[in-house]
Amino acid sequence: MYFTSPLNCVQITPPVSLRVMHDRWPNRGADNVGSTPRTARASTVATPRSPPGDGPTSARPRLQNRGSAAAVEPIQIPQRVSAAVESGSPSRLNVESLLAQAKSGNPIRMMQGQGGSKTQRELAKVQDYQTLALACKRAGKQREEGQAYLALGAIYENSANFLKAISFYEKFFAISNELKDNVNACAALNSIGVCHQMIGGERHLDLAIEHHAKHLERADVNGKFIAHCNLGLAFSGKGEEEKATLNHRQALRYAILLADVAGEALACGNLGMSGSRKGDDVTARACLERHLKLSDTLDDKRGSADACRELGFMSLKKGEYDEASRYFESALVLAQEMEEEKKEVELKCQIGVARGTVRLDEMKAQLQAIVESEMNEEAGM
């Protein structure tokens, strides 16, 4: 957006195409595009979610809009950058708007909800944008051609066809670069990097790092926040936690510079998860407690629930069973409010483990006291 299991940060809901990756919460942001640094992918400010991650910042394939400071991204999920205003939101594809901006004047044959299967509607969109791209290319309208490629990339990305999406984002980048349009070039680099991150595997993670690094070089402050978040998540995916930590620290630095509370919460969550994986429990606990506090301030129930859950596991690991139980109970209340049944079941099990362990320790202590008392009596006799 990506605790014994990862927290979730930025996530995408169909049909979103923005994203940033978090350790557990990958992020995307926008470069001078009006988006805040927290989302993985940006429309003029948005993000997506990607595959499962481990920890509060795992990336998952869907993105959330990051247009306001209140839009909180899950940790460990790749973040996205916004394309220029005229391109609309790559994360939530507004077909009519994009067509109008491309000045095609031709409505899409099948809009969502107009009939036909979802596959047929998506196919119709693809055909429309391919026709539009070809027409703009023949007419020498490079900018409009690029917008069509952006839309095609978003459609394929939302269908989890990341390789196909990358091919169109690369065309969008080539045109943006040729036009010296840095905002859209950054959005393209971000999108390509996030797609490689979603595919996973060492080769694609290396390519993700390469593109996020290029994005970092060209980005404004908001974009640098997003690029560092995504680089941190990509390095974590490769098991290079030291490099991941350095990037999450830089992301935190930019979030504070921007006075972006949601971004700070995201960076703290990712830092906490990275510290936990390295075995640095002191740093991990401090960062997760800060993440919890900021999530509560932002009324981010999901972030608060994930933080409580992770802190519960940390307390369990240290043998602090009463504290673990309290954290799990807080997470359970939030999960019930969000109607997340699977998490409710898991948290109830963890509460049972924590309470049961406390009870077991008490019984052991009582048994030990009885044994010692009997031994003392026998010795006195």
The pLDDT assigned to 216 comes to 96
* pTM exceeds 0.85, yes or no: no
Rg of the chain, C-alpha, whole Å: 24
Compute the distance between CA of residue 23 and CA of residue 9 in angstroms, rounded to an integer. Answer: 8
How many Å separate Cα 20 from the centre of its chain?
5
Terminal alpha carbon distance of the chain: 69
Map residue 176 onto helix, strand or coil. helix
pLDDT averaged per 10 residues, the chain (length 381): 33 32 38 34 33 33 34 70 44 38 36 54 88 94 94 92 96 96 94 95 96 96 94 94 95 95 93 90 93 93 92 90 92 92 90 83 73 70 59
Helix and strand numbers, DSSP H then E, in the chain: 13, 2
pLDDT at 12: 27
pLDDT at residue 78, rounded to an integer: 80
pLDDT of residue 32: 35
User: 129 is written with which tokens?
Assistant: 């944008």
Say how far apart CA 46 and CA 53 lie, in whole Å. Answer: 20
For 253, counting Cβ atoms within 10 Å of its Cβ (0-12 exposed, 13-18 middle, 19+ buried), the class is: middle
Cα–Cα distance, 17 to 191 (Å, whole number): 8
For 119-142, letters b (16+ CB in 10 Å) and e give eebbebbbebbeebbebbeeeebb
**Which positions ≥6 away from 81 have C-beta within 8 Å?**
18, 28, 29, 30, 31, 33, 35, 41, 42, 186, 187, 190, 191, 215, 219, 223, 226
Q: Which amino acid is at 296?
A: D
What is the reported pLDDT for 73?
66
What pLDDT does 76 receive?
Answer: 73
Contacts of residue 320, defined as CB under 8 A and 6 or more positions apart, other chains included, come to none
